[in-house]
Structure 1
Amino acid sequence: MGRQYSCNKENVQHKINTSFRMFINRLHADFPPHWHTDIEMIIPQEAPYKVICANQTYHVEIGDILLICPAVIHEIFSPYPGTRVYIQADFSGVITLKDMDKAFRLMSPALHIKKSSCPPEIYDYLRGRIDKIMKLYFGSAPALHMNEKEEDESVIAFTELDPFGELEIYSLLMQFIAFCAKNISLFRDSDSSGSSTTFKNSTSLSNICTYISEHFTENLSLECIASHAGFSKYYFERIFSDYTGMTFYQYLQQMRINHAKSLLSNPELSVTDISYQAGFTSCTAFTRAFKKSTGYPPSQFRTLNEEQHPLSANPHFTDIKL
């Protein structure tokens, strides 16, 4: 049975003087619901995981890659012991890039790349980005044990990255994310005719998503956006759902909720203030929609933020080479 943790947040400890961490979980542990502003990637090497992200369940098999978007509540179950690679990276400094924000919206709450169904050349390319990151991160630097009393279960820190190493790592991560966003249909189950129609209109739909991202706090309607895109209401509704995986109103509401999540990391803002800043017409409507989306009311979601309520260091994480 996997080891349970009574606390509700994992403490993300980045590599010295960076906003990035790569580590290996070799032991058998479950993690309760939590969220952080970092992206998180999980790559099982010897045993699968079950991960629940925003009420969606992902069975992550050996060799699969699961990318969890920022500010998504997730819960991790370890049915069997075995090595799993983790990556955590703070993207708050580049989330202001429109394309980065758009990519996370397309992938939200998580992107599951299945080794069994992903085209081999695509999988090799994406896995190659991760392997290069691992080489840059671990390198040949000697390990510095934080606690000499611990052995196999010790948390090990490393010296700083080589000059511009963090920049190289983020470049590889952005290549990974950009490729997945541009080819999002490869990782979704959809019929071929729908995918073909969506591809023909991808530029228009991408521009519309950008427009929505700039005006989501305003009173937007399906009719208004369809007219702005130059399509009929019913045709737009169909191709937009194929492109984003959700209806226009679901997409608009999710964008508002995602913005509210980032605002909830600021303890000086009240839930009422956040509801109006995110574009909701009332705090009641915001709370109802937020709970339906995340499973938690905004006030409780705020308590699961690791920056404000960090867990104790997890002794079952070890930063060591495979």
Structure 2
Amino acid sequence: MRSDLVLAASAKELVQHKINTNLRMFINRLHADFPPHWHTDIEIIWPKDAPYKVVCSSQTYNVDIDDILLICPAVLHEIFSPTPGSRVYIQADFSGINSLKEIEKAFNLMAPAIHIKKSTCPTEIYDQVCKYLEMIMELYFGKDPSIYTTDNEEDDSVIAYTELDPYDELEIYSILLKLISFCAKNINLFKETDYVSNTTYKNAISLSNVCTYISEHFTENLTLESVSTYAGFSKYHFERIFTDYTGTTFYQYLQQIRVNYAQTLLSNPELSITDISFQSGFASSTAFTRAFKKSTGYTPSQFRMFNETQHPLPINFYEQGKGYLESH
């Protein structure tokens, strides 16, 4: 076996998770890059000792110490570790909860990720998000988990292959739902545009309902004219305020929702690309492939190959990698 494959296998063994749960949480102290990958989990990254650079789709996020990054499901992302230090990771499978109509609406508004910056986020908003994360960590790791890197690091393997206490997983998911709802309601404080401030409160309520309507009917033949009529605005007025509210045009928004849904379907190896294109609301597989590549940079077949579940994720090491390779 090649030494880099041995190293990757060794790295996998260092990431210890509890069993019989749809949650994966760990305090990562490995100085490692993670190449492009995706999964149907939401992923929350909370650097505590050192920053990260994360590329989600075509957007780059420089996540400083104590910033929080929430990556939406089925988003292709790549992680760079410029310096050693601990980071908290939370991954949770939401595929069984997507039947809640407002979950998809929230993810569509937040996609590809929400970056909560400690330096610019209102203190009370930031503190509430941290409170949710601390509650989750206490349920998973126990009280006062060793987060920060020290000279005498504690062995995290004490949680390996153990189970959560009864109903703790349910409680963690309930907190995650509160966190997602809280982020969606305060999304204008996290986005770097001021699109919400340009709309009246009445319009914001109407457009929120429109986003829900699109999320429920995106596989149908929706047009700007039909949706503006549903919203009760003229086509031109609706187009302007919708772009202010979402930061994108109606057709770009609709197409991105279809692509987002297709990304989740690509986790099912039994579905063909043609099946996925029609189930996602595209008129043809050619139109689907063109839109998908424009959004992600990859064809659907190429994107499918990055699925972490189907194709185990390799890890590119720095500090620990060098030491391991030198001794083997």
If the length of structure 2 is used for normalisation, what is the TM-score? Answer: 0.85
SS of the aligned residue for 2:61 comes to strand
Q: Confirm or deny: 8 A CA contact 2:193 2:247 kept in the other structure.
A: no
- Match of 1:136? 139
| Alignment map for 1:1-322 (pairs within 5 Å) | 15-139=18-142, 157-191=160-194, 195-311=197-313
Q: Kindly provide the amino acid, as one letter, of the partner of residue 108 in structure 2.
A: R
Q: Deviations over 1:212-258 (max 9, x none)?
A: 11211111111111111001212211221222221110110011111
Aligned residues: 302
Over 3 Å counting, the alpha-carbon distance change for 1:259 and 1:13 in structure 2 is: farther
Over 3 Å counting, the alpha-carbon distance change for 1:314 and 1:58 in structure 2 is: closer
Over 3 Å counting, the alpha-carbon distance change for 1:109 and 1:246 in structure 2 is: same
For structure 1, list consecutive stretches of 5 or more residues without a partner in the other structure: 143-150, 317-322
Farther-moved stretch of structure 1 (90-99 vs 206-215): 206-215
Over 3 Å counting, the alpha-carbon distance change for 1:273 and 1:169 in structure 2 is: same
Displacement, 1:97? 0.3
Q: Kindly provide the amino acid, as one letter, of the partner of residue 26 in structure 2.
A: F
For structure 2, list consecutive stretches of 5 or more residues without a partner in the other structure: 146-153, 321-328
Displacement, 1:202? 2.0
Displacement, 1:159? 1.9
SS of the aligned residue for 1:30 comes to strand
CA distance in 2, matches of 1:196, 1:251: 18
CA distance in 2, matches of 1:180, 1:198: 20
Q: Deviations over 1:187-217 (max 9, x none)?
A: 112348x515153322211211111112111
Farther-moved stretch of structure 1 (11-20 vs 176-185): 11-20
Q: Confirm or deny: 8 A CA contact 1:141 1:159 kept in the other structure.
A: no
**Considering only aligned residues, what root-mean-square deviation do their CA atoms show, in Å?**
2.7
Displacement, 1:39? 0.4
Over 3 Å counting, the alpha-carbon distance change for 1:100 and 1:312 in structure 2 is: same
Displacement, 1:269? 1.5
Over 3 Å counting, the alpha-carbon distance change for 1:14 and 1:157 in structure 2 is: closer
Q: Confirm or deny: 8 A CA contact 1:54 1:72 kept in the other structure.
A: yes
If the length of structure 1 is used for normalisation, what is the TM-score? Answer: 0.87
Over 3 Å counting, the alpha-carbon distance change for 1:13 and 1:210 in structure 2 is: farther
- Match of 2:324? none
CA distance in 2, matches of 1:208, 1:26: 43
